[in-house]
Structure 1
């Protein structure tokens, strides 16, 4: 995982963040929906040595929105939440930005040696399509399941005595 410096400064992106009204867009993320997604993360982590981490954010931080796009924000959060800090470098961050209608997957170098960026991109596009059709929770649950299946394919483990390296709780950044 290498941070790209490809973000272009964008006054339009900054304005979208400033004008974004969270209560109009994130009504679907109720405490019950967050609990169900947390359970989906737990299910996605069964049967393999990987770690799955889900972050949902209303909008980019205003102070960074001019120069930072969703991909770079996801990479920053991958580092901040230490998703990279797993024993076999098999952490996968799923980042959803509600304001930008974007979803990014950042995979650590262990799993990236097995799964091409094209596969991750296709998974993102499928989930974003479902989100656009007002099936946000269902689309994220399906994406979590797909990520879990990929991790099982390359890092299968029938019994995981070491347990979780990262929390399964969905992180919601307002």
Structure 2
């Protein structure tokens, strides 16, 4: 385990997460999810985690594995069309992961999701957390509108509220 990573996680606190994503930014993310979901049939959640819990850090868990845990814990897979999408942000590791349920996963290639993650990570490196996340959600929603367009019979199955851990 790298000492540098341990220190990053120990010193990236919940307060760091609140500074990066204050209440107004969270409100904008929620609005971006709600409005975007009107154009497609997927269900989008965003989970922002300042740092990993100590047990996961000691176990060497990385962003992708943590995103899988949270995808399950928050039941993002529990949608009618298997259309759940998780955008996971780990501030300490400066990583973004997008996980999808199989209904969406077969319609969008991994490289398309990765392009969204890369753009968001670049914005975060410049300190542009709110704008980077809103832009990423806009790109994600546009991609979903192309591949899984709304059929006009939308029911919201998962909360649009961002989760800060």
Structure 1 portions without partners, runs of 5+: 1-9
- Number of residue equivalences: 163
Distance 2:119 2:83 in 1: 22
Please tell me whether residue 156 in structure 1 is matched to residue 156 in structure 2: no
Please tell me whether residue 59 in structure 1 is matched to residue 51 in structure 2: yes
Q: TM-score, normalised by structure 1?
A: 0.87
1:127–1:80 Cα change, 3 Å: same
Distance 2:92 2:44 in 1: 23
Distance 1:31 1:25 in 2: 11
Secondary structure of 1:144 counterpart: helix
Q: CA deviation at 1:24?
A: 4.7
Please tell me whether residue 47 in structure 1 is matched to residue 39 in structure 2: yes
Question: Is the 2:43–2:156 contact (alpha carbons within 8 Å) kept by the matching residues of 1?
Answer: yes
Secondary structure of 2:86 counterpart: strand
- Map 1:14-53; keep pairs closer than 5 Å: 14-24=6-16, 26-53=18-45
Structure 2 portions without partners, runs of 5+: none
Q: CA deviation at 1:167?
A: 0.1
- Map 1:77-156; keep pairs closer than 5 Å: 77-156=70-149
Runs of 4+ in 1 over 6 A off after TM superposition: none
Q: CA deviation at 1:14?
A: 3.2
Q: CA deviation at 1:15?
A: 3.6
Which residue is 2:66 aligned to? 73
Secondary structure of 2:39 counterpart: coil
Deviations 1:74-97 (A, max 9, x none): 110011111111111111100011
Q: TM-score, normalised by structure 2?
A: 0.91
